[in-house]
Amino acid sequence: EHAIELRHGIVDLILRHTEQLRRINRELAESNLELDTFAYAASHDLKEPLRGIHTSIEFLQEEDGPLLSSSGQGRLATVLRLTRRMDELIETLLQYSRVGRIDLRLEAVDLNELVVQTLELFEPLRKERATARMLGRLPVVECDRVRVGEIFTNLISNALKYNDREEKRVDIGCDASADPPVFFVRDNGIGIAVRQYARIFQIFRRLHPRDAYGGGTGAGLTITKKAIERHGGQIWLESVPGRGSTFFFTLAPPR
Ligand code: ADP
């Protein structure tokens, strides 16, 4: 009898905590949405005055540029470069907020076809400075085609970008025996130290100076992670510095 009472007590405790967890989850989702709405409103409102500044500077450069001293011209060019950068950051923030605010459009998507189409867009692959292999066929999955296209684009783009080798290689595949299926994008690039794993998913965080490996705002993986989590999935990685990285992800909640 004592044991039964104890068991009831424990069940009760778990239920209460589950309820609490659910509430915290709900509140987090709500505050995330608030953050997304804020990011959207702020970046949206910043865009217009920035465009005005941009146009004015371009105008100034064209009309009055030749009259300026060379250091004046240099300064004007710097201001123009910085406004372009700001424009890029604002655009990224808009993209980021969009993933959180806008409902997913779920449909059955042939990921094999999607990834083949995605690969056709990459310059280094077209110019044969890099090779991408699909290891087996990818399955058809219920997901948002646009978002998942962006997920693969971001991961493949990073796999080619953070890579110093003569022969860059990207392998894309899926463990379909896992439930839900686990997708992966593997590269033979520069790799990432374990202590940096969490950092790379933070917005505007980069491990390398901006110019070392070409542009980028440091938001790609943040947006990628968010899109994956909206599907109920998870993203994680394994990497050996100097050898390469593999990014894994799912597109459905764990079973
Ligand atoms: P971005 O590429 O715009 O800087 P990301 O959010 O996509 O932003 O990536 C954040 C940082 O994580 C990158 O700046 C880079 O330092 C590191 N990183 C991402 N993908 C890889 C990769 N495949 N191999 C090595 N480093 C990577």
The residue whose CA is least distant from atom 11 of ligand 1 is 206
What ipTM goes with this model? 0.98
From the CA of 151, how far away is ligand 1's center (Å)? Answer: 13
Q: Does ligand 1 have an atom closer than 6 angstroms to the CB of 96?
A: no
Query: What 3-state DSSP class applies to 176?
Result: coil
**What b/e readout covers 137-171, taking b as 16+ CB neighbours within 10 angstroms?**
ebeebebbbebbbbbbbbbbbbbbbbbeeeebbbb
Q: Does ligand 1 have an atom closer than 6 angstroms to the CB of 201?
A: no
Which residue, 181, 185, 187, 125, is CA-closest to 162? Answer: 187
From CA 34, how far away is CA 245, in angstroms rounded?
A: 34
Tell me the per-residue pLDDT of 12-63, one tens digit each, with 9 for 90 and over.
Answer: 888 888 888 888 888 888 888 888 888 888 888 999 999 999 999 999 889 9
Q: Does ligand 1 have an atom closer than 6 angstroms to the CB of 252?
A: no
Q: Which distant-in-sequence residues (6+ apart) come within 8 Å of 50 by Cβ?
A: 83, 86, 87, 90
The burial of 42, by beta-carbon neighbours within 10 Å (0-12 exposed, 13-18 middle, 19 or more buried), is given as middle
The residue whose CA is least distant from atom 16 of ligand 1 is 207
Cis bond leading into 49, ω under 30°?
no
Tell me the per-residue pLDDT of 119-146, one tens digit each, with 9 for 90 and over.
Answer: 999 988 888 789 999 999 999 999 999 9
From the CA of 213, how far away is ligand 1's center (Å)? Answer: 9
Q: Which two tokens stand for residue 240?
A: 């050996």
Task: Determine the pLDDT at residue 221.
Answer: 95
The helix (run of H) or strand (run of E) holding residue 237 is: strand 235-240
From CA 122, how far away is CA 163, in angstroms rounded?
A: 14
